Each structure stands twice: as C-alpha cells, then as structure tokens.
Amino acid sequence: MFSDNNEVRKNRDHLWVTISLVILLSAFRFISTLAPEVSAFFQVYTEFPIVEVISNMLFFWLVGLLWIAYHRWKNTVAYNHKLENIISSISPDSITVVNSNRTITMCSGQIETMFGIKPKKLIGQSTDALYFDRRVRGEKGEIANNLEKYGFHIGQATGKRKNGQTFPLEIITGAISGNNGAVVLMRDITERKNTETALRESEARFELFMRYLPGCAFIKDSNLKYIYLNSYCEKAFDCNISDALGKTDSELLPPKQSNPITKNDRKIIAEHCETNYVTETDIGGKKYSMMTYAFPIIPQQEKECTMIGGISLDITDQKNAETERRNIEKQMLQSQKLESLGVLGGGIAHDFNNLLVGMLGHADLALTKLPENAASRENLEEVIVSAQRAADLANQLLAYSGEGKFIVETTNISDIVEEMSSLLNVSISKKAILDFKLNQTIPSIKCDQTQIRQVIMNLIVNASDSLDGNSGDILIETGATQLTSDNFNNTYFPSKLPHGEYVYVKISDTGIGMDEKICQSVFDPFFTTKFAGRGLGLAAVMGIIRSHKGTITLDSTLGKGTTFTIYLPSTKEIAIKKTTNKLDNESWQGSGVVLVADDEESVRNVAKMMLESIGFDVIIAQNGREALEIFKEDSAKFCSILLDLTMPELGGIETYHEIRKIDNSIPIILSSGYNKQDEITQINDEALPAFLKKPYRLHSMRKIFKTALN
C-alpha cells in the first residue's frame, strides 16, 4: 500500500515524544516510591502535591497525543486508499517501489489483478518473484545495469502469474535519488503483442497478395511521389523499385507520357474521385499499354486526400490482340465486300459473254460470206473490234471475281517478265527508268500466263502514272520466300493459304505515293485517282491473284513511292519453254455430226452456224439432260460434243461424266465464260477435255475442233 513519507515521519516523531514522556512519568513515580523523603520534601517545602499534579498532567498529555495520532493514522489510511483508487482508475499498470536491494516496499492494488498476488504478500519480497526472464533478474540483470548506468530502464520481459502462467510484460523503471531504490511500472502487453502479431500476419498476407497480383500496385503521397510499389513492377518492367520510390512520374517518364498521369492524379486529389485511364508508357526501351485504376486514400477523421492508391495492368498483349482482331474483322469485311462484288461482276460478265458470242459469231460468219472488196466489210470489222473490247472488259470483271483463269500452265515468272520487257518499256512514261532484277533460279508456278501478264502490265502502268509526269524509277524484282500465317496477316486480303514457298514479283516506284485512306480503297472496283478511267486495273489484279491462290501486299508512303508485291504458290514441276508454230487453220474443214448443248438460244444458234460453216452437221440441245437423252438414242453418229458448263437441270461436268459412261473416247469440248479450270482439272480422265472460252470466234472454233478431232 502507498504511504506519504512526510506524514509517516511526523507520526513517528510524535510517537517518540509520547514514549519519552511516559518513560519520564514512570521514572518519577518510581523514584517517589523508592524515596518517600523526596515526595515528603516537596510536600513540606512546597505545601503542594506536585507529584500527583505532574502525573495527572502527563497522563492527560499522553491521552491527547494518542487521540491525535489515531486521527492522523486514520486520515493517512483514507488518503492512501483514495490515492490508490485514483491511480488504479487512471492506469491499469502496476506500480511498485523497491529499495536498493530490490525488495518491494510498496505496491499498487493492480498487482493482484496482473499477477494474482495480494500486495501485502509482496511487501518485503524480491522483484525476481515477478519476472520470468533471467536476463532482467538479479543484481547483474538488465534492469539493475541500466539503473546503475543511466538511472532508468525501459524494456520488456516475461511476467509470471501466481498460477504459473507467463505473459509479455513491459517494464519502466526510474531510480530514486540517493540510491534509495526505484519506482517500477509494469504493464501487461499481451493485447499489444497479439495486435502486433496480427498486424505482422496481415502485412505478410498483404505483401504476399501484392507479390502475386498480376499488376503494378502503387501508393503515392499528396506530392504525387511513389511511397509504395509492389514487386510485380520490378519483375514486369525489369527495373529497381528503390529507384522509383520518392520520385514522381514526371521524374521517371518523359513529359508526353507523364503529363496525362499527373493530370489524372491531381484530379483525384482535388475531387476525391476514382478514375480509369489508359496510357502508353516506354520503360527500359520497351513500350507498354497500361490500364490504370486509381482512387483517393482519405484517413479516418480527415477530410483531405493525403494519398493516392491504384493498380496498373499491362494490357499490351490484349491491346495488340484487339488491334489484330479489328484488323481481321476489317479484312473480313473487305473480303466479303469484294467477294459479293465479285459474284455480281462474274454474273454480269457471264451473261455479257453469252451476248458477245452471238455478236462476234454472226460478225465472223458475215465476213466469210462477203467478198474481199465489199464496202460493208469495214463496218463488220469495226463491230468485231468493239465486241472484242467489250470481251476484254468482261474478262476484267471475271478477273476481279476470281473467275478469270482459263489456261493453266507451268512456267517461270521471271521468263514472263523478261518476255514482256519490250512491251513494258513502251507502255510507261518516257521520263521513267525501268529496271529489272530477275532471279532465274526461282521455282516454277502454275498460272494462266495471259492473266499474269495482265497483272504485271496493270501494276507497271499504275507505277508509271504515280510518277505524275516527273522523272522517276520503276523496279521489277522477282524471287522466292517462305510465308507463314504471320506473313498472311499482313497481306491485303489474307486468307487461309497454306504455309510454304511462294514466288513473288515486286514492283516499286519513286512516285507520289498514297496515304492510308487511298491505300484502303485502291483495290475497290471503279475506284480511281485519275480524271478519266474505269478503275478496274487494280481490282482485276486482285481478282487474278486471288484466283491463283496467291496474295498481295501494298506498302506506300505519301511523297516517297509505292511497292506492290504479289505472291504466288510455287510448284515442283519444271517449266518448259514452248515454241509456237503458226498453223494455217483457215482452210481446214470438218465432217460428221456435232452435238451442241447450251441453255442460251443465241449461243446455240451461232455455234450451230459456225460449225456448219466449217463442214459439220449440228444437233442442238437446250440443257445437259436433253443432250444426254439425244446421245443415248444414237451415240455412234456423233463425232464430237460441245457442252456449256453452266446449264440448268444437268450441268456440263455432270453431263460429261454421264456421256463418258456411254462412250469414253468421243472428243468432248467444254465451253464457258466462267473460270472452271479447277473443276476441269479434277476430271480423272487420261486426257482432259478441251476448253473453248466464251466469247469465241470462228477461227478459235475451227482450231479447237481440228485439235480435238486430230
């Protein structure tokens, strides 16, 4: 229990005075008893009972002193009890006073609550009864050493309760002056330790979460300086986190990259709002697309934003994938548009060719019946020229639709370019310089040479036009390369082409070039940048390359020039250069009966007249089924058959196979304005049927039948 030292000292002084008076009174009475003459002396000479008076005075003095001592003791006890209650209500800590021998002389009532030991039982015991740790116990313990050196000690130890339970204890000790002991404050820090343990575990979980978070988590202070970055930042961006802490974005990134981030951060601090934004960042020489979610951090009981937190996710791959997806969608839309236009153009060209068969056929037949000096011959020849130009236009429509490939041969594309060199030189501007860089060792390709010549001619003319009348260079280069899906994705109209070796023709010019908008429309039909023109040149190029299972790339920069590169699949077959001998077919006459099947009446009629003019008898059929029935009735009388490929009820290929079941040796000639080369080559005959392209003329009809029958 606590005691006031001054009050104790006063009470002790009063007690000694009282004891001294009692001893003096007792001595006086003892002397009076042993020496009656002394008492008699006082009575005789003083005539007064001095001994009784003095005794009574001393008695009453003693009683008064005892009464005063009692009341002071009572007040002291009440004061100490009140003080103890005040201290206990203010602090849950235990306070003890020890002497220089570490013996407890006083302690507060909280000792019992903390240690389970009544304070009275601890008075006179060593403080070692309260400590479990050896490092703080004894004369050479940590507490004693610090008191001796510094006069105070602050530390932790393990306390020991009466039941043997231990608990974490914080000890604050201050020495009493004069080496008279010390005051010891002891505090149970079990709850604090549990809180610290929970905090460490929480921080460990937080750090573990942040370590595996697939994004860059950050915290910035009110000055926009980084005060926290998770380990992902270091791993993802190959940088040292310590280099970024304490710095702002403007100190770490170029202004173009940091300014948008700083602007968003200031908005968060000013408006206390959350925000999302995407930035393009260059870190360590590598470009990243970062999507950031940032938010204000406002501590409790505060109104201002003191920090900014957020997470930045690397969406570079996703953005690239999204860009690629949009490009693919764009290319698919372009491909669908071109395909739909191609179907339309092919249908028009097919019907147009059927009309031209009648025009050219009748004009040719009329010429054969006119004398050489007839005035009308010139008019008929002009009709034929005009019809032939119309046929060329139809062929361009067929080329655009991908249906323009008719005669497929194995050839070397460098040989084609070399053969065209003279024609190309006279087709370009006189101010243009045409150079060739031809690789003669490249693999062969299978193509319609006429169509490939048209592609090269169209591209060369386009390159010459791009010079815009100025001097410039045009380069034609051939070669071979391996293409994969990545290469196909960068082509103008990518499709599921097989990987492998492709032969290319690259045509470059140093002309005015094209911007991105023109590049996106350059292959559209009827698109042209010239004042006059049909705009079918590059559209036809695209259709021809597509029909040959190839692709094309376009690289153009405004003011620097343009490069077109066409890619065609190579073949292992070896190209053989053919020498052509002009045969005189004008006098050849045939004989026998020819079966003609076509669903167009005008085509049937003109074919019948052409064949009759060269010596054949003709039987006509309106479709394949009717032709098959006629052939079944008397197959032996027919020397040859002319079949249109596209007929109702039974098409030309189906009719061909049915006839072959009856007679596998009769010459059959297939005719169409469409490209049916793929269908024809799939016929498993030893000798493929002959093919007569619409619109045909009399001399081509004579030549094809002469070849077929011979």
Query: What whole-number distance in Å separates Cα of residue 601 and Cα of residue 414?
Result: 44
Q: Is residue 389 part of a domain?
A: no
Query: What whole-number distance in Å separates Cα of residue 446 and Cα of residue 401?
Result: 19
Give every strand in the sheet of 94-98, ordered side by side. Answer: 104-107, 94-98, 182-188, 166-175, 152-160
Q: Which position has the higher pLDDT, 525 or 106?
A: 106
Instruction: Yes or no: say if 640 and 704 are a contact pair by the CB < 8 Å rule.
Output: no
- Cα dihedral 9/10/15/18 (nearest 10): 150
Query: What whole-number distance in Å separates Cα of residue 203 and Cα of residue 209?
Result: 10
Q: Which of 26-30, 109-113, 510-514, 614-618 has the lowest mean pLDDT?
A: 26-30
What pLDDT is stored for residue 531 in this prediction? 45
Looking at the structure, tell me whether residues 435 and 560 fall in a common domain.
Answer: yes
Looking at the structure, tell me whether residues 647 and 697 fall in a common domain.
Answer: yes
Say if residue 65 is exposed, middle or buried (CB neighbours under 10 Å; 0-12, 13-18, 19+).
Answer: middle
Degrees, nearest 5: CA angle 546-550-552: 90
Query: What whole-number distance in Å separates Cα of residue 485 and Cα of residue 490?
Result: 9
User: Which residues are CB-contacts of 444 (< 8 A; sequence separation ≥ 6)?
Assistant: 410, 411, 412, 570, 571, 572, 573, 574, 575
Q: Is residue 275 part of a domain?
A: yes
Looking at the structure, tell me whether residues 133 and 268 fall in a common domain.
Answer: no
Q: How many CB atoms within 10 Å of residue 690?
A: 17
Residue 646, pLDDT above cutoff 50: yes
| Domain CATH number, residue 262 | 3.30.450.20
Q: Which of 72-86, 103-117, 433-447, 473-487 has the lowest mean pLDDT?
A: 72-86
* Per-residue pLDDT tens digits for 466-479: 888 888 999 999 99
**Alpha carbons within 13 A on the beta-carbon side of 206:** 11
| Domain CATH number, residue 549 | 3.30.565.10
How many separate domains does the chain show? 5
Tell me which DSSP letter residue 225 carries: -
Query: Helix or strand or coil: residue 436?
Result: strand
Q: Is residue 321 part of a domain?
A: no
- Choosing from 541, 571, 601, the residue where a domain stops is 571
Cα→Cα distances 117→88, 95, 629, Å:
16, 14, 125
Instruction: Yes or no: say if 353 and 394 are a contact pair by the CB < 8 Å rule.
Output: yes
Tell me which DSSP letter residue 1 carries: -
Q: Please state whether the predicted TM-score (pTM) of the whole model is above 0.75.
A: no
Q: Is residue 652 part of a domain?
A: yes
Instruction: Yes or no: say if 232 and 210 are a contact pair by the CB < 8 Å rule.
Output: yes
668: amino acid identity, one letter: I
> Per the structure block, which two tokens stand in for 31?
């002397």
Q: Is residue 238 part of a domain?
A: yes
Q: Is residue 689 part of a domain?
A: yes
| Helices and strands (DSSP H and E) totals, the chain | 23, 22
Residue 145, pLDDT above cutoff 50: yes
- Choosing from 285, 314, 343, the residue where a domain stops is 314
Looking at the structure, tell me whether residues 58 and 121 fall in a common domain.
Answer: no
- 624-633 and 652-662 helices cross at what angle (nearest 10)? 10
Looking at the structure, tell me whether residues 160 and 123 fall in a common domain.
Answer: yes
Of the chain, the end-to-end C-alpha distance in Å amounts to 139
**Alpha carbons within 13 A on the beta-carbon side of 272:** 8
Cα→Cα distances 674→207, 397, 403, Å:
70, 10, 6
**pLDDT (average), residues 245-254:** 87
Residue 23, pLDDT above cutoff 50: yes
* Per-residue pLDDT tens digits for 53-94: 666 676 677 677 778 777 777 777 676 666 566 655 556 788
Looking at the structure, tell me whether residues 411 and 558 fall in a common domain.
Answer: yes
Instruction: Yes or no: say if 171 and 102 are a contact pair by the CB < 8 Å rule.
Output: no
Looking at the structure, tell me whether residues 540 and 410 fall in a common domain.
Answer: yes
Say if residue 497 is exposed, middle or buried (CB neighbours under 10 Å; 0-12, 13-18, 19+).
Answer: middle
Instruction: Yes or no: say if 495 and 554 are a contact pair by the CB < 8 Å rule.
Output: no
Taking alpha carbons only, the member of 555, 269, 265 closest to residue 277 is: 265
What is the Cα 518 distance to its own chain's centre? 30
Looking at the structure, tell me whether residues 174 and 300 fall in a common domain.
Answer: no
Say if residue 152 is exposed, middle or buried (CB neighbours under 10 Å; 0-12, 13-18, 19+).
Answer: middle
Q: Which of 54-58, 112-116, 189-193 has the lowest mean pLDDT?
A: 54-58
Query: What whole-number distance in Å separates Cα of residue 59 and Cα of residue 29?
Result: 12
Give every strand in the sheet of 668-672, ordered side by side. Answer: 617-621, 593-597, 638-644, 668-672, 690-693
What pLDDT is stored for residue 339 in this prediction? 67
Query: What whole-number distance in Å separates Cα of residue 426 and Cα of residue 198?
Result: 89
Q: Which of 131-135, 423-427, 495-499 has the lowest mean pLDDT?
A: 131-135
Q: Is residue 449 part of a domain?
A: yes
Looking at the structure, tell me whether residues 73 and 44 fall in a common domain.
Answer: yes
Say if residue 67 is exposed, middle or buried (CB neighbours under 10 Å; 0-12, 13-18, 19+).
Answer: exposed
What pLDDT is stored for residue 478 in this prediction? 95
| pLDDT, mean over the chain | 79
- 698-709 and 601-613 helices cross at what angle (nearest 10)? 70
> Per the structure block, which two tokens stand in for 161?
């309760």
- Choosing from 46, 61, 87, the residue where a domain stops is 87
Give 436's strand partners.
Answer: 476
Domain that includes residue 234, residue range: 213-314
Helix (H) or strand (E) holding 458: helix 449-466
Looking at the structure, tell me whether residues 557 and 425 fall in a common domain.
Answer: yes
Q: Which conformational region is residue 21 in: left (phi greater than 0), alpha (psi within -120 to 50 degrees), or beta?
A: alpha
Query: What whole-number distance in Å separates Cα of residue 167 and Cα of residue 184?
Result: 17
- Burial string for 536-564 (b: 16+ CB within 10 Å, else e) reads bbbbbbbbbbbbbbbbbbbebeeeebbbb
Q: Is residue 201 part of a domain?
A: no
Looking at the structure, tell me whether residues 410 and 552 fall in a common domain.
Answer: yes
Looking at the structure, tell me whether residues 250 and 121 fall in a common domain.
Answer: no
Query: What whole-number distance in Å separates Cα of residue 130 and Cα of residue 122?
Result: 9
**pLDDT (average), residues 688-709:** 84
Q: According to DSSP H, which parts of 159-283 are helical?
A: 190-212, 231-237, 241-244, 249-252, 255-271
| Domain CATH number, residue 665 | 3.40.50.2300
What pLDDT is stored for residue 208 in this prediction? 83
Residue 304, pLDDT above cutoff 50: yes
> Per the structure block, which two tokens stand in for 471?
């001097």
